[in-house]
């Protein structure tokens, strides 16, 4: 079961994993008086939507209230067409940096496995990832950063700004702690966790687990 936005944020907070300033709403009227952090990202949160990007339900770089209104209506049209009625909107500040993917899965032989890679084609196309069985030690995390083929990107390369490796290691350690402690959670995607020179922010988290456990 995919955890909803509220539970997801609670869990991130519990393990001191940073996430962007977020506003959750169901219709535009709810946010007419709110201060919106432009440029922002608009996303749809629904149990029925697994791959938001593929359905066209992620809108980035929204600069104004007018644009936000338009994108919200676009999203509603797609949802109506797909006959999805239970959903809410998520509005987030834009975080700049390099898109990293970290995640966890449960393996029947070894237990919790932590996976790390750089977002986009590196992971999607080249499957350039490194992994370790949890619990991780700091040494493991540092090794993981050095094991991917595209490791040089972490130091800054063309359009990719350099990342704060300490904060990235820190995020991996926190994910490992979460994986070991929250027995009811079976799979996690932080895709992406955006890392820049200052820190690491979980921009999109998908957590699978038993909500009632």
Partner 1 sequence: MPGYWVMKMLEQFFEPKAVAVIGASRKTDSAGYGVLKSLLMGGVFESDTNRPFKGKVFAINPNAEDILGQKCLKSVLDVPGIIDLAVIVVNSQIVPSVMKECAAKKVKGVIIISAGFGEIGIEGKKREEEILEIAAKAKIRIIGPNCLGIMRPSFNLNASFGPCMPKDGNVAFFSQSGALIDSVIDWSLEKNYGFSAVASLGNSIDVRTTDFLMWAENDKNTKAIALYMEGLKDGQRFMKVAKEVSKKKPIVILKSGRTQTGMKAVGSHTGNLAGSYDIYKAAFRQCGLHIAEDMDELFEMAQTLAYQPACKDNGIVIITNGGGAGVLCADHCEGMGVKLTELSKETVAVLDKSGKMHPAYSRRNPLDLVGDALHERYSIAIDTVLKQKDVNGIIVIQTLQTMTEPMLDAKAVLDAMKKYPNKPIITSYMGGKFSRKSVELLEANHVPDFNNPYKSAIAMKALIERGKWLRG
CA distances from 121 to 100, 118, 129 (A): 11, 8, 11
Phi, psi of 199 (to 5 degrees): -175, -170
The interface region with partner 1, picked from 34-42, 67-75, 109-117, 194-202 by CB under 8 A, is 109-117
Rule CB under 8 A: which of 6-65 touch partner 1?
50
Tokens of 166: 């300490």
Q: Does residue 191 interact with partner 1 by CB under 8 A?
A: yes
Q: Are 130 and 147 in contact (CB under 8 A)?
A: yes
> Contact with partner 1 (CB under 8 A): which of 3, 49, 79, 101?
101
Phi, psi of 18 (to 5 degrees): -75, 140
Cβ atoms < 10 Å from Cβ of 120: 15
Q: Does residue 150 interact with partner 1 by CB under 8 A?
A: no
Q: How far is the CB of 108 from partner 1 (least distance, A)?
A: 8
> Which residues of this protein are in contact with partner 1, per CB under 8 A?
2, 50, 101, 103-105, 107, 109-111, 113, 115, 117, 123, 127, 129-133, 140, 187-189, 191, 206, 208
């Amino acid at each position: 079961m995919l955890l909803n936005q509220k539970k997801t944020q609670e869990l991130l907070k519990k393990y001191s994993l940073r996430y962007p300033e977020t506003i959750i709403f169901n219709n535009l009227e709810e946010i007419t008086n709110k201060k919106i952090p432009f440029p922002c990202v608009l996303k749809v949160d629904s149990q029925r939507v697994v791959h938001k990007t593929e359905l066209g339900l992620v809108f980035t770089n929204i600069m104004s209230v007018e644009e936000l209104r338009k994108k919200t209506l676009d999203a509603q049209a797609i949802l109506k067409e797909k006959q999805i009625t239970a959903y809410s909107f998520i509005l987030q500040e834009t975080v700049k940096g390099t898109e990293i993917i970290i995640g966890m899965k449960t393996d029947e032989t070894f237990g919790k496995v932590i996976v790390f890679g750089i977002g986009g084609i590196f992971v999607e196309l080249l499957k350039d990832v490194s992994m370790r069985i949890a619990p991780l030690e700091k040494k493991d995390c540092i090794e993981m950063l050095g094991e991917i083929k595209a490791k040089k990107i972490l130091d800054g390369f063309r359009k990719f700004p350099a990342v704060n490796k300490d904060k990235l290691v820190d995020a991996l350690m926190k994910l490992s702690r979460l994986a070991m402690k929250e027995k009811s959670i079976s799979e996690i995607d932080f895709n992406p966790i955006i890392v820049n020179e200052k820190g690491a922010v979980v921009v999109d988290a998908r957590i699978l687990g038993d909500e009632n456990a």
